[in-house]
Amino acid sequence: MSDNPKDVLIAAYLIEDLAKKDFDALVKLAENKTIAVEGVVLVRKDSDGEVHVTEAGDHLGRKGLKVGGGVGLVVGLLAPPLLATTAVGAAAGGVASKFAKHRLESGIGEKMDAALPPGSGGVLAVYDADGASAVENALANAVKTSVARIDGASAKELKAGLAEAQAGMAG
């Protein structure tokens, strides 16, 4: 993982299968190594405001629901209640609080609430900030996008925390 600053993206969609189309395009960018992607997550926010992960993709373009720390970084920053079901399991109290701090400081939580209204589909992603224009081009169907930025060191630290939590669970 590079020390480059990371963009934390929330893209909202009127139509769920078009979100999936853009999700696939972003994962393809990761697979092709066009940009350095930490993780991409396809989500749906239900009418009660609860976020559900439909699919996730990692930095190598692999898809699945539990595909490593990059996805955990995305979920932790954008939808922390989902950490338990995606990346690190239910015992990740410590790492969750670290994410909470970053969400608060970067305003990501607020952006997430505003950008993704109940009933919408979304693509969440974290990637190296210098890939922003490639990402923008890939999101042809997004109705609204919102981007926050975190520095590379913080991202690294959060990812390490995730790895630690996952290791703890495994052990």
Partner 1 sequence: MSNESIDRSTLPIRRPPFKGVVKETLDGSQPDWDHVAPIRAPDGAPNVLLVMTDDAGFGNPSGFGGPVRTATLDRLAAGGLSYNRFHTTALCSPTRAALMTGRNHHAVGYGMVGEFAGPFPGYTAMIPKDCQPFAKTLQGNGYSTACFGKWHLTPDSQQGLGGPFDRWPNALGFDYFWGFLGGESGQFDPMLIENNRAIGVPAEDDFYLPDAMAAKTIEWLHGVRAHDASKPWFAYFAPGASHAPHQVEAEWADRYKGAFDQGWDKLREETFERQKQRGVIPADAELTPRPDAMPAWDSLSETQRRLYARQMEVYAGYSENADWNIGRVIDAIEEMGELDNTLVIYIWGDNGASLEGSLTGTFNEAAMMNGVPLTDEQQLQLVLKWGGLDAWGSDMMAPHYSAAWAWAGNCPFQWGKQVASHLGGTRDPMVVHWPQGIREQGGLRSQFTHVNDIGPTILVAAGVPQPTHIDGVEQQPMHGTSFIYTLDDADAPERHTQQYFEILGNRGMYKDGWWLSMMMPRTPWKIDPETLKQFAPGVWDPDSDPAELYYLPDDYTQANDLSAEHPEKVAQLRDLFWQEARRNQVPPLLGGLSGFFGIHPPAPAQSEFTYYGDVQNVAPGTVPPIYNHSYTISAELEIPQGGAEGVIVAEADHLGGFALFVADGKLKHTYSFVGVKEFRQESESDLPTGRVNVRMEFAADAPKPATGGEVTLFVNDEPVGGGRMEYTVPVRFSGYAGMDIGRDNGMPVDRSYADKSPFAFTGTVKKVVFDVNPHLTEASEHDLAEHANWAHTAHAITA
Binding footprint of partner 1 on the chain (CB under 8 A)? 12-15, 18, 47, 117-120, 140-141, 143-144
- Considering the complex, state which of residue 17 and residue 171 has its C-beta at the smaller distance from partner 1: 17
- Considering the complex, state which of residue 84 and residue 143 has its C-beta at the smaller distance from partner 1: 143
Q: How near is the Cβ of 93 to partner 1 at its closest, in Å?
A: 31
Q: How near is the Cβ of 140 to partner 1 at its closest, in Å?
A: 7
Q: How near is the Cβ of 47 to partner 1 at its closest, in Å?
A: 8
DSSP letter at 89 equals: -
Q: What is the 3-state secondary structure (H, E, C) of 104-166?
A: HHHCHHHHHHHHCCCCCEEEEEEEEHHHHHHHHHHCCCCCEEEEEEECHHHHHHHHHHHHHHH
- Considering the complex, state which of residue 43 and residue 165 has its C-beta at the smaller distance from partner 1: 43
Query: How would you classify the pairing of strands 37-45 and 121-128?
Result: antiparallel
